[in-house]
Structure 1
Amino acid sequence: MRSANSLIKSVSRIEPARLEEVPESVADVVASLSAAGAVLGSALHPTSAANLAVLVRIMNTYYSNLIEGHDTRPRDIERALAGNLDRDEGRRNLQLEAAAHVRVQAEVDRMASEDNLPEPASPGFIRWLHREFYRDAPAPMLRICGTDTDFVMEPGEWRSRPEHDVAVGRHLPPSSDRVNDFIRYFEQRYRFADLGKAARIMAIASAHHRLNYIHPFPDGNGRVSRLMSPGAHRPARVERPDRQRNACLGDAEGAGVAEVPKRCAGDSVSSTVSADIDSEFG
């Protein structure tokens, strides 16, 4: 019989990872959701879709902050995107993290719209999300202080040292020396490119939960999982929008709503993927 300690360290600890046998009632819900999404996508004019995409990014950022206990209002996020930061350091830091969330989701949308999105469950993509989110973070956001620990988090790096071990409420994530193995297993179980449309839709929620269960980074795991999910759902579309709509949806990294129609009035937006993304996924 395997010891309790070996079970805790085993990557199979994240099982069940996916819903392997789908009840008919669940299959019906997935089919309805997929069909409704396709109808909505095809009904929107590219300009309207682009405006909506910008608003959804701000909405996602607002709720992501709220989940973390950070009350940054949509108007504060819009001010941050415009470079109008609060004089108070605490509120300014909240604006900076909100702007980072919008910026990273816009880049994910851009890559998806140009059929250049890496595998969302891959270690490289997950690390890139974390690194990009914290790219311009002020020092206080990177400092991890606890009862017995005090260190500076390195953006994009897994937990790897004993001081990185953490407890989240009553949950004990895998020890830091096992994170890499758990993430490799995570990719194996959630590789979205290998899943059909319905399986992808169902896997998005479970992948979100299991990534947080592994807790691969010292901090920022919830934000990374919430940024991974939009990337994971993009291949699950029943119908892919036309090229102009794709360009508009992926456009306007951090742009305000009023700027988007100007960008969507012409030809498809050109791709500009930063050199570090190229090196990560090239």
Structure 2
Amino acid sequence: MTTSILDITPFIPADARLMQSSLPDKAISLISLTAKLTGQLAPLTLARLEYHMAAINSYYSNLIEGNATRPHEIRAAQRGSYSGDPAKRDLQQESLAHMQVQEWLSIQKPDLDTLFTPEFISRLHREFYQRVPEGLWLIKDEQGNTAATLVPGEWRSGSVIVGQHIPPSASDLPALMQKFCETYNPKKFSGDRKLIAIMAAHHRFTWIHPFTDGNGRVGRLLTDVALKAAGLESYGAWCISRGLARTATQYKQLLANADAARQGDYDGRGQLTERGLMDFCNYMLDTAIDQVSYISDLLDLASMRQRIESYVQARNDKRVAGVDASLKPIVSLILFSAYQQGEIGRAQALELCAMPERSARRLLGQLKSEGLLSETSSKSPLRWEIPEHAEPWYFPNLTP
């Protein structure tokens, strides 16, 4: 039996149901919160946060799929330091591949018309899996035998069962993915419906299950870049995957609930449950709001200044792992100024040190060597950085 795009109706909840729900208000709240976060950060600080959060996003998105490689292990892989255990090494490479694809997306900056095409979604899958060890292309059955092998960037060629759900036949995928992209391009929706459509598309993509494997990771990457392209400029300084991973059981259950057929005359007019789709979209928007609120609170100027001061104090109390040298109290002002502005000129940095020039240069040299500040040349301004030893103090509870 052929599966058509009509088999995933409703595409988004009906207007009548939306007007009786809190979904539109939540979408507007998310837009407002992300705009406020963008406005409170210097562009260079935002860029540095996005770079740092790539490892966090990779960690949480892969954690949902069972890869528990920690952020410090991912960053070790960035430096070329891998585990001696082949299985753990493969998982490090998988996590690193996720980060590299995020970087590729950041460079590409696809607009919504580019993003919502079968060609781009296929390429997104290919970009990820071409960076992953070929051993992870093998799909194992319950007995540990190889049941299938994925081909990066190609729609699956066989049938699959996902929990209680049987996704569409492989022969239907080319036409179905074309219609999926035409239907869910957020440009076809206005106002708050854009974000609701992106969240609904997240479920419908997993329902279609177009690839042999990697649908969860690619689906979350697709949602990430769609939110950014739809105008949430601070996305990247926060990521929805952190919230999804921390409530993974609920995430997977709501995905499964939304797979169900319509439950009677009071459950919409489509083929699938409208109530299940509403519940899933509510969960996704709640999770996004929670994550942007968490990061916004951390990045509040007064709060960040206090945590930078706490970090400097902890250094002097020998409570920071990985570094032994103490820091002069004035360092907290230097680091906070760099955070607030994104970078500080060398003359300003020397002035902030409030000490003889030779001593000031020595102090700034220490901050650079410890990764707290960086430079692009010997005369460039000094930029705020987030070394691993400072992360737990700057961003408590960001990772377990």
TM range (shorter): 0.7 to 0.9
- 1:94 deviates by 0.7
Question: Partners in 1 of 2:167 and 2:32 — Cα distance?
Answer: 37
Question: Partners in 2 of 1:259 and 1:233 — Cα distance?
Answer: 31
Per the alignment, residue 227 of structure 2 pairs with: 233
Indicate conservation of the 8 Å contact 2:24/2:193, yes or no: no
Q: How many residues align?
A: 240
Query: Aligned to 2:19, which of 17, 23, 31?
Result: 23
Letter in 1 for 2:173: V
Per the alignment, residue 203 of structure 1 pairs with: 197
Distance 1:149 1:73, change over 3 A: closer
Query: Aligned to 1:212, which of 171, 196, 206?
Result: 206
* Superposition pairs of residues 28-67 of structure 1, within 5 angstroms: 28-67=25-64
Per the alignment, residue 166 of structure 1 pairs with: 160
Question: Partners in 1 of 2:80 and 2:375 — Cα distance?
Answer: 20
Question: Structure 2 length as normaliser, TM-score?
Answer: 0.55
Indicate conservation of the 8 Å contact 2:34/2:234, yes or no: no
Per the alignment, residue 253 of structure 1 pairs with: none
Question: Partners in 2 of 1:55 and 1:159 — Cα distance?
Answer: 33
Question: Structure 1 length as normaliser, TM-score?
Answer: 0.76
Per the alignment, residue 251 of structure 1 pairs with: none
- 1:262 deviates by 4.3
Question: Partners in 2 of 1:144 and 1:260 — Cα distance?
Answer: 44
Question: Partners in 2 of 1:180 and 1:192 — Cα distance?
Answer: 20
* Superposition pairs of residues 119-134 of structure 1, within 5 angstroms: 119-134=114-129
- 1:130 deviates by 0.4
Indicate conservation of the 8 Å contact 1:61/1:98, yes or no: yes
- 1:165 deviates by 0.9
- 1:68 deviates by 0.4
CA RMSD of aligned residues (A): 2.8
- 1:62 deviates by 0.9
* Superposition pairs of residues 34-183 of structure 1, within 5 angstroms: 34-112=31-109, 119-146=114-141, 150-160=147-157, 164-183=158-177
Distance 1:100 1:213, change over 3 A: same
- 1:134 deviates by 0.7
Secondary structure (helix, strand or coil) at the match of 1:17 reads coil
Indicate conservation of the 8 Å contact 2:23/2:196, yes or no: no
Distance 1:29 1:261, change over 3 A: farther
- 1:48 deviates by 1.5
Q: Identity rate of aligned residues, in percent?
A: 36
Secondary structure (helix, strand or coil) at the match of 1:205 reads helix
Per the alignment, residue 252 of structure 1 pairs with: none
- 1:121 deviates by 2.1
Per the alignment, residue 280 of structure 1 pairs with: none
Per the alignment, residue 308 of structure 2 pairs with: none
- 1:203 deviates by 1.5
Indicate conservation of the 8 Å contact 1:72/1:94, yes or no: yes
Per the alignment, residue 12 of structure 1 pairs with: 6
- 1:89 deviates by 0.8
Indicate conservation of the 8 Å contact 1:197/1:237, yes or no: no
Letter in 2 for 1:104: V
Work out which structure has the larger RCO, using CA pairs closer than 8 Å and 6 or more positions apart in sequence.
1
Indicate conservation of the 8 Å contact 1:57/1:105, yes or no: yes
Question: Partners in 2 of 1:72 and 1:13 — Cα distance?
Answer: 37
Distance 1:194 1:140, change over 3 A: same
- 1:84 deviates by 1.4
Unpaired runs of 5+ residues, structure 1, are 242-247, 249-257, 267-282
- 1:139 deviates by 2.0
Indicate conservation of the 8 Å contact 2:150/2:156, yes or no: no
What per-residue deviation string (whole Å, max 9, x for no partner) do you get for residues 83-102 of structure 1? 21111111111111101111
